[in-house]
Amino acid sequence: MKTIIHPDELRSAVREIRSQKKIIGFVPTMGALHEGHLSLVRNARRETDIVIVSIFVNPTQFGPHEDYRIYPRTLEEDTVLLNREFTDLAFVPRVEDIYPQGYTTTVQPGPAGDTFEGKIRPGHFAGVLSVVVKLFNLVQPDLAVFGQKDAQQLFLIRRMTEDLDFPIRIVESETVREDDGLALSSRNRYLKVEERKKAVVLYRALCAGKRVIESGHRSLSDTQNAMLEAIAKVPEFSPDYATAVSDDTFTEEDPIAPPARLIIAGRLGSVRLIDNMKV
């Protein structure tokens, strides 16, 4: 695997790959890689000739009181994992390479970026979309793979790709879970031992909501109540939202109609966790 830091070197490498008529798959990450990230790399590998993975902790998607400075940075370990997955190229830019002095342009997500995660984390999705656009322009992939766990992010990236006419196919990869159902996340490493045991409440709440829908009751309030009842069993978890949204619009609909998705987020101690489940 080749590691590239500077954007100009990446552009040169991409030109060489393109001259060979090879198909490029791209997996953008913030590092602190786990099995969930590696599943994205494998999915990209199955459909492409060359896999490029970026590792960049993007400061513009963190709020002023969020965990940018302490977000785990494990480049050495990440490199070992990517080599094991036969990644062709790792792009590891510096902040000043992506946001040079005087940089002011951003991509705004529109109304769908102002709800749920966007409401709780103002500016978050503008930061996400802006860096993804820059990475798309640098990597010029044929396809890019994103995880389902960040459902609203995936929705907005897919819409942005269509709206801005990027010739890139967005591939979504299923959430990878621990044996007890907890979705893998780089932030799980922040959880204390007792918090880790209780973090499964997110998955249990999603399952409770899914059972209501599968029983034939598609009432939004009934589904929300079932999720909140499951959450109430772990008072240490403080929910931000627990509801169902349309996969087509990422808005609540009542009654719930397919394709739909249950979404949940909140804090367990100092750690903020999110999850979702297709229904």
Active site residue 6: no
Q: Which of 6, 29, 3 is nearest to 100 (CA)?
A: 6
**Residue for token pair 């939004």:** 220
| 8 Å CB contact between 53 and 29 | yes
Q: Which of 35, 29, 81, 275 is nearest to 176 (CA)?
A: 35
Long-range contacts of 12-21 (CB under 8 A, 24+ apart): 13/89, 14/138, 14/139, 14/140, 17/50, 18/140
Catalytic one of 34, 37, 65, 217 = 37
CB atoms within 10 A of CB 230: 22
Please list the alpha-helical segments (H only) found in the chain: 7-19, 35-47, 75-84, 95-98, 117-120, 124-139, 151-163, 193-198, 201-214, 220-232
Q: Is 96 exposed, middle or buried (0-12, 13-18, 19+ CB in 10 A)?
A: exposed
Residues 6+ apart with CB under 8 A from 74: 31, 32, 33
Residues 6+ apart with CB under 8 A from 69: none
The residues carrying an active-site annotation are 37
